[in-house]
Structures are given as C-alpha cells and as structure tokens.
Amino acid sequence: MVANNAQFDLDAWYPFRYHEEQQRFWNCQRRFIGLDCGRGSGKTDLCKRKLVRQKLWRKIPRCKRPMYFYAAPTLPQAKRIAWEHFQDLIPTNWLLPGSRGINRTDLVLSTIFGSKLFIVGMDNPERIEGNQWCGGIADESSDQKPKAFEKSILPALSTYRGFCWRPGVPKRQGPAAPEFKAWCLKHRSGKADPESISFTWPSRELIDPAVDRQARLTLDSRDYAEQFDAQWQSSGGGIYHAFDENENCKPCTYHREETVYVGCDFNVNPMAWVLLHRHEDVWEVFDELWKRDTNTPEALKVLYEKYRKHKGGFVFIGDAAARQRKTSAVMSDYEHIFQHEGFKQLGRKIDFPRAAPAIEDRFAATNAQLCNAAGQRRLFVDKAKAPNLFNDLEIRHFKEGTRTPADQGKSGDIGHAADALDYVIHRVTPLSGQLIFVPAGPVAMTSGRR
C-alpha cells in the first residue's frame, strides 16, 4: 500500500456498484486485457481508476521513472476523455508541485513516486514509439489505426514487460474493428495466451433504465446489440451489406485441376490479388496475394512459385486502368501477365474491360452473389486464407450521406482486396446473370469487348 495515502479513498469520489465481470477485470493481473464492452458501461473509467490505484505508485525493477500512457485515436479525443478526469482521480498530494506535476503543454502528470502519465493521441504513432513504457490504456480500440497495437504499442512495452488494457465498443465499421474483434474473441477464455485475456459486459446492466428504454426505441436491433449489448455484429450496413460472416465464411479448398480466377488490383502498396474457384454457380475464395511495395512482375513471381504445379489453368481479370502504364516501368500490367512464360505453359487467359464499370454496378454484382433476393448465397470466403478480403467485406463503408466509398482517394489498406474480387464477379457474373467470360478454348488475351 502507498505510504501516507492509505486513507485516501478514490471510490468515494466515483462510486461504482458491484459488477462481477468488472471485478474480474479489476483483480486481473495479466499484461494484455481487452474490454469489448457496451457504450457507457464504465470500461474506460474503470481502466483509468485501475491505472491510478494499482500502478502509478509502484516501483518498477530497473526503471527509475516509470512512464504510463493513456491513448485515444486522436490527441483532441484523448485530451477530452482523460486529461481533466485523471487530475480528479489522482490525489493532489501524489503530484509534484506546480507545473512540475501538471504539464498542460505536453499533457503530462508527474508524481512524487517518479512515475509519469502521458495523454497521447494515436493519430501520430511517434507519440508512443521511441519510448519504453511500463504500461498504458489504448482506448476506443475499434477506432485506432489498423495494426497500431501490433506495430506501435507492443514494441514499446518490451523492455519493462509493460501492460496494455484495450477498452472499446464492439463496432462494425471502426478502422481497427476486425483485428480488435479477432483479438478479443481469441482471448475470451484466457487459454490462448497466458499473458492475455478479454472481458465483456453489456451496458444495459449498468446504465439508467430510462436510457436503456430510449435506446431500444431509437436504435435498430443491430445497433442496439452492438452499442448496448456488447455483441459483435457483421457490418452488413456497409458497402457489402449482403455479407454475413456466419453465412459467407467457410473453409474453401484449392483444387489443382480446376480453373483459378485471379482478381487483380494493380496497386503498388499494397498489391492485392484474390484467387477463386467457380463450382457450377458458386464462387469460393481460397487464397489471396497481398504484397507491399511491389510491382506486377514480382507479384507474378510469388503467384507462380506457389502454384507452378497447377493443372486447371488461370483466368486473370482486373481493372481497365491497368491497361495504362501505372505500376510497371516498361509494360502495362496485363502485358506482363501475357508474356510470363511460366503462366503461358500453365495456361492462362487474360480479360480486361475497355472501360471501367460503374462502381455501384461492381458493388451490386458482388452483393448479389453474397446473398440474392431469394436468400441464396453463391460467394464464400475462407477468412483464414484471405484475411484482407474478409476485412474489406466486413468494414468497407460509404462516406456518411453519400454513395462514395469512405476509402476512395485515400492511401491505405482498405478496399484493394475487395476491388480485386469485384472485378472478377462483375466481369463473369454481372447483375444480368449472363456469363460474359468463360475460360474455354485456346489461351488468349481478350479486350473484353461486349
């Protein structure tokens, strides 16, 4: 216990009533803890209180000045949520006097125990990187940047075996929602990794009943289940509204004797290709190629090495823009494919449209295969083998109030794998249901003239 502060009772300032799952979190000492809980359920307050009560005053072996962080997706958000609240939570006699204890410029609170608490925004990862932390809170985990936990936070906790608590609402369309969901579900039981565990509890058990009643009246069932019941929902309200993880995901097997359709998005970073079979009228995505800072010849090399013994031939389908000199220094992307000697021997067809289809038509064609009006599902994805495509189908969405993809015109990982899939689906099975391109006859390069 802390000398000279044994009588201080934070709970008298911010009383919580007993809740079994919250008590389990409070007592848990594992390094990494996920909290995918309902909105207004106390998850963030509990993390802040636990950081103050259990961590700030402790001595850390080999560390004279322990550093802790509270991180939200942006700095203004972090300041709004945590800066004044931490000043209320930390006893005044724990802080150094004056500006030494409360640095309003850098948003740092310094204690008499030598520890410091930094309020940071993950919109600039350098605020976390470059230091070695003893622990912290990565709040609003569904809205953090993709891979921020893996790439920025985890390496910064290595020296002192620091901890990280990850509270967040189980959102459908947050930038990091798919990876946060996968992490929490994986570690729910606490058996997958002795250092990791996740807890969840709904808001309705803790909020004012009147607030809960109002939410039930104003939200649709999926929004209520997500926001207040803390249940992960498939993001069917996004661009791929017909996609349902439970219905459209299954193990998909590669067949050596069957045609492989290769949907190509010829972006440079990342380049995303998806691989599909078509069994009668059913599509199965069994693999993807996802490669950063590359070009078409390098991607072809990777694909050929993996499938050089394939017997069923290949069909390459992509965007009309790839006919231009975009990612290749000398030849167009399709010309690279056409001239690849290995794929010539394996048998390949190349189909490209003279003009790009309307983006709405691509989305509609893919949605029709995911689930048509008769309730038939004719497109399935192996999410373990095509995780980037799965993420796109889960979270890709329109800008609010528009029919424009939120990722359009932005650099980043979202949308490339889904575009590659759309090119194949729209080219082979457009909304009319007529097969436009059938891989039969001699190897050829077609212009896609209709």
pLDDT tops 60 at residue 79: yes
Average pLDDT of the chain?
A: 86
Least confident interval from 132-136, 237-241, 332-336, 383-387: 237-241
Dihedral sign of CA atoms 158, 72, 23, 197 in order:
negative
| Helical ranges in 59-120 per DSSP H | 75-78, 84-89
Least confident interval from 149-163, 173-187, 297-311: 173-187
pLDDT tops 60 at residue 406: yes
pLDDT tops 90 at residue 14: no
> What's the whole-number mean pLDDT along residues 376-381?
95
Tokens of 252: 């998909």
Q: What topology does CATH give the domain 245-446?
A: Nucleotidyltransferase; domain 5 (3.30.420)
* pLDDT score, position 13: 46
Distance of CA 295 to the CA centre of its chain: 25
pLDDT tops 70 at residue 237: no
* pLDDT score, position 432: 58
Q: Which CATH architecture has domain 10-227?
A: 3-Layer(aba) Sandwich (3.40)
Least confident interval from 236-240, 325-329, 395-399, 444-448: 444-448
* pLDDT score, position 138: 98
Tell which residue, 190, 183, 164, has the closest CA to residue 32: 164
* pLDDT score, position 235: 58
Sorting pLDDT into bands at 50, 70 and 90, what band is 220? low
Residues whose CB falls within 8 Å of the CB of residue 311, separated by 6 or more in sequence, listed in order: 256, 257
Q: Which residues pair with 258 in a beta bridge?
A: none
Residue-wise pLDDT for 83-134, tens only, equals 999 999 999 999 999 999 999 999 999 999 999 999 999 998 878 988 999 9
Residue-wise pLDDT for 252-288, tens only, equals 999 999 999 999 998 878 999 999 999 989 999 999 9
| Parts of the chain belonging to CATH 3.40.50.300 | 10-227
What phi, psi does 307 have (nearest 5°)?
-125, 35
- pLDDT above 70 covers a percentage of the chain that reads 86
* pLDDT score, position 442: 32
* pLDDT score, position 433: 46
Tell which residue, 159, 418, 171, 138, has the closest CA to residue 272: 418
> What's the whole-number mean pLDDT along residues 342-367?
88
By the 8 A CB rule, do 320 and 288 touch?
Answer: no
> What's the whole-number mean pLDDT along residues 157-166?
97
Residue-wise pLDDT for 18-42, tens only, equals 889 999 999 999 999 999 999 999 9
Tokens of 311: 């017997």
State if pTM tops 0.85.
Answer: no
pLDDT tops 50 at residue 338: yes
pLDDT tops 60 at residue 369: yes
pLDDT tops 70 at residue 327: no
- pLDDT above 90 covers a percentage of the chain that reads 63
352 or 200, higher pLDDT: 200
Provide the angle, in degrees to the nearest 10, between the axes of the packed helices 359-370 and 416-428.
80
Q: Which residues pair with 67 in a beta bridge?
A: 116
- Angle 380-381-385 from CA coordinates, rounded to 5°: 155
- On the 0-12 / 13-18 / 19+ scale of CB atoms within 10 A, 178 is buried
* pLDDT score, position 173: 72
pLDDT tops 60 at residue 355: yes
> What's the whole-number mean pLDDT along residues 369-384?
90
Query: Given the structure tokens 């249940």, which residue do they identify?
Result: 231
pLDDT tops 60 at residue 2: no
State how far the Cα of 122 lies from the Cα of 139, in Å rounded to an integer.
10
| Parts of the chain belonging to CATH 3.30.420.280 | 245-446
Residue-wise pLDDT for 178-188, tens only, equals 899 999 999 99
Tell which residue, 421, 385, 394, has the closest CA to residue 253: 385
Cis ω on the peptide bond leading into residue 270 (within 30° of 0)? yes
DSSP designation for 211:
H
